[in-house]
């Protein structure tokens, strides 16, 4: 089942919405009537920790290529 909420409601009810996502529901967040974001459960083809690690690895690699390593942002 898909739930649609406005941005303000999503901010107020985030914990509740995340519980619904954990239960398998999808949440569409809309600004006025325009959908702008989707909350859905992460598929565990890769564990969530490996997804995060991969994202950090890519980011570090990109920063290194730009010469940003060690610089505060």
Ordered strands of the 26-31 beta sheet? 2-6, 26-31, 34-39
pLDDT tens figures, 40-57: 988 766 556 677 777 888
Is the per-residue pLDDT at 18 higher than 60?
yes
As a whole number, mean pLDDT of residues 8-37 equals 95
Across 33-37, 55-59, 66-70, least confident range: 66-70
Give dist(CA 5, CA 24) in Å, integer.
16
Give dist(CA 15, CA 4) in Å, integer.
15
- Tell which residue, 11, 35, 55, 34, has the closest CA to residue 26: 35
As a whole number, mean pLDDT of residues 23-47 equals 88
């Amino acid at each position: 089942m898909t739930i649609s909420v406005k941005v303000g409601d999503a901010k107020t009810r985030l914990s509740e919405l995340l519980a619904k996502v954990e239960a398998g529901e999808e949440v569409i967040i809309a600004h006025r009537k325009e959908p702008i974001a989707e909350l859905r459960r992460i598929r565990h083809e890769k564990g969530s920790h490996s997804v995060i690690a991969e994202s950090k690895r890519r980011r570090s690699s990109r920063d290194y290529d730009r010469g940003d390593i060690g610089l505060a942002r």
